[in-house]
Structure 1
Amino acid sequence: MYALAINGSPRKDGNTALLLQEVLTPLTRAGWETELVQVGGKDIRGCIACYQCFENKDNQCSIQTDIFNEVMAKMLQAQAIILGSPTYFTDVTAELKALLDRSGLVSQANGVPFRGKIGAAVTAVRRAGATHVFDTINHMFLMSQMIVPGSTYWNMGYGFDKGEVSKDQAGIVNMRHLGSVINWLGAAVHDHLAQYPEPEGTII
């Protein structure tokens, strides 16, 4: 089983990355292959609505000049996708929004390969606005027929300065619990599909 965490923060080792690592830790201990990929601060442009993905149907975006297709390939491989963002004016970073729009559309264009994957949103916040960030990420998951697990609270951690989120004990506990839930859910989904394989061409 492979869990992919994607950091939408331009701060490579900031609060968002710290929260994502806390989610991955229980999964690594449970034997999952885990990876944290940096998107924030990287070259990734927004969707241009060319709809070439609906014509090409190759699980790729027609824009070949940035990192999107490399990240998309990892998302397609993963059984669990954890997307993290700091709170920028009550929403996700521009880089993560580009990833959400393009990956969601490419998935829709190719028979919804995100269907049945586990999707979890994580956000770091100084004071307010994190719930909207959380919703923005989950919108793509839910429209892509993904399974969105809960935890002890909304998946947010409070902190401003680099590393400050580690002082938010309730937030850290939430992240570790989220990782444990993803592990439990991944095993349950795997066992269910082994016993009840999805009929070809059926949307569940």
Structure 2
Amino acid sequence: MKVIAVNGSPRKNWNTATLLQKALDGAASVGAQTEITHLYDLKYRGCISCFSCKRKGGALGRCAMQDDLTNVLDKISSCDLLLLGTPIYFSNITGMMLSFLERLLFSTMTYNLGDRSTFQGKLSSAFIYTMNVPSDLMEKLGYKALFNHYKSLLERLGGPSEILVSNDTYQFDDYSKYEASMFNEKHKAQVRAKQFPIDCQKAFEMGARLVESNIKALLNN
């Protein structure tokens, strides 16, 4: 069982990356092989509308662009579970994650009637979101529609997709160094100490559970 995590945050050791690693640890605890890719380490672009992935006799269903993302997409095409993580910037996923999803998903989207995807296989997935916004404000801002949108897109890869959200995250290691008076550092520290470990445990359990579900499905087939 192969599990690949893709970190859409520029930070490799902060909230998003930590939760992704916990999910990978959970997957590894039940025997999966795991790997993580940090998108901000790579040089690539989003979809350039060359339509090679739709051309008859061409690389149907596969992105034809050659760059640092090519090998990552090849690995994902043969893995069993895909774990994505991103902070929320300006009420959306990061630009690097969006460009990655363009390359991953548009190539498998078909324009033929009656079909949704040319993806060969059944790839389960989960999307981890981290944000400074508290959970109650997240509800008012309608973020669930955003999360469900990406969930629906990922389900075109043939498998179920889950969502995990970590709210009210700790942004700085020392709030006194930054112009950020709208935030209560004491409150942020309390959330970091009490809630974030719970979110980490949820990520661990999710990773283990999704791998176990995939193994069970394979055995039943």
Task: Report the TM-score when normalising by structure 1.
Answer: 0.80
| Corresponding residue of 2:65 | 63
Query: In structure 1, how many angstroms separate the alpha carbons of the residues matched to 2:48 and 2:65?
Result: 9
Matched letter for residue 19 of structure 2? L
Query: In structure 2, how many angstroms separate the alpha carbons of the residues matched to 1:54 and 1:139?
Result: 21
Q: 1:36 to 1:155 in 2, by over 3 A?
A: same
Q: 1:85 to 1:133 in 2, by over 3 A?
A: farther
Q: 1:112 to 1:122 in 2, by over 3 A?
A: same
Q: Which segment drifts farther, 4-13 or 179-188?
A: 179-188
**Match among 164, 170, 174 for residue 160 of structure 1:** 170
1:42-72 Cα offsets, whole Å, 9 max, x none, are 32211122211122226542222x3221110
Task: Report the TM-score when normalising by structure 2.
Answer: 0.75
Matched letter for residue 178 of structure 1? M
Query: In structure 2, how many angstroms separate the alpha carbons of the residues matched to 1:162 and 1:189?
Result: 42
Runs of 4+ in 1 over 6 A off after TM superposition: none
Matched letter for residue 63 of structure 2? C
Q: 1:59 to 1:8 in 2, by over 3 A?
A: same
Query: In structure 2, how many angstroms separate the alpha carbons of the residues matched to 1:44 and 1:136?
Result: 24
Q: Which segment drifts farther, 91-100 or 159-168?
A: 159-168
Q: Which runs of 5+ in 2 are unaligned?
A: 111-116, 174-188
Matched letter for residue 123 of structure 1? Y
Secondary structure of the corresponding residue to residue 86 of structure 2:
strand
Alignment: residue pair count: 187
| Corresponding residue of 1:99 | 100
Root mean square deviation of aligned Cα: 2.4
Secondary structure of the corresponding residue to residue 82 of structure 1:
strand
The answer on 1:185 being equivalent to 2:213 is yes
| Corresponding residue of 1:40 | 40
Query: In structure 1, how many angstroms separate the alpha carbons of the residues matched to 2:192 and 2:21?
Result: 11
> How many percent identity over aligned positions?
22
Q: 1:174 to 1:88 in 2, by over 3 A?
A: same
**Match among 135, 157, 168 for residue 144 of structure 1:** 157
Secondary structure of the corresponding residue to residue 25 of structure 2:
helix
Please report how far the alpha carbon of residue 101 of structure 1 lies from its aligned counterpart in structure 2 after TM superposition: 1.4
Query: In structure 2, how many angstroms separate the alpha carbons of the residues matched to 1:126 and 1:41?
Result: 24
| Corresponding residue of 1:82 | 83
Query: In structure 2, how many angstroms separate the alpha carbons of the residues matched to 1:162 and 1:52?
Result: 43
1:97-135 Cα offsets, whole Å, 9 max, x none, are 11111111222368312x421111111111155645533
Q: 1:162 to 1:28 in 2, by over 3 A?
A: farther
Asked if structure 2 preserves the Cα contact closer than 8 Å seen for 1:8 and 1:83, the reply is yes
Matched letter for residue 14 of structure 1? W
